[in-house]
Amino acid sequence: MTRFSDEAWARIAGLRAAIDRLPFITELTAGTLRRDRFQTYILQDALYLGQFSRALAIAAAKAPDAATLQSFAQSAVGAVTVEQALHENYLKAFGVAPETVAGAEPAPDCLAYTSYLLATAHQEGWEVLVAALLPCFWIYWEVGGRIAREAAPGNPYQAWIDTYAGEAFGEAVRRVIGIADTAAAATTPAVRGRMLAAFVQSSRYEWLFWDGAYGQRGWPI
């Protein structure tokens, strides 16, 4: 049987190509992304990460055995720690105080994505939740690696690029991919189908998040 990760990755081939074409990604690669757009993104991503961490904690609690719980928790916490450090550095550079982050309101795209993940965490089983969490790891690693290969010299966003293209983040991503594959191999075809649907849905939210940050999309009313 085809590995879950191979099938899921192929399922979002068109979406991955669309992510690569996003102005946020192309301009970040070129180093021409406006600072205010990147600042909007970093602030929203900090808010996102707070809720994403909660979904990760629920996933660890739902793990089928102690070994998987430990492996998943270590991988997830390691990746989140790397991202949190990146956010803190950029927000400090932008002069954004911690209390400003705490009092900030999530934009529609951020709220929609985190609400979906938390709903999945509470309403679905372990396998579907892992699949829903996977795109945030995997797509960032893929995008970070591609940008690292193509980035303009002296890119002002090099720290962001280095974080997601780095081996430490990649190692965590590979572990989560492996955990998702193991979960899918041990479950029923029906649950595997729900895993694929969750993976696709989260991948759509990844596109939407970057698109919303670029357009600085807020609440219409």
Catalytic sites, residue numbers: 136, 206
CA distances 210 to 21, 93, 107, Å, are: 11, 21, 12
Of 218, 216, 185, 221, the residue nearest 3 (C-alpha):
185
Token pair for residue 198? 């969750």
Whether the CB-CB separation of 43 and 99 falls below 8 Å is answered with: no
Whether the CB-CB separation of 138 and 177 falls below 8 Å is answered with: yes
Sign of CA dihedral 125, 127, 131, 137: positive
Angle at 39 between CA 13 and CA 150, to 5 degrees: 45
CA distances 5 to 37, 70, 138, 200, Å, are: 32, 21, 10, 12
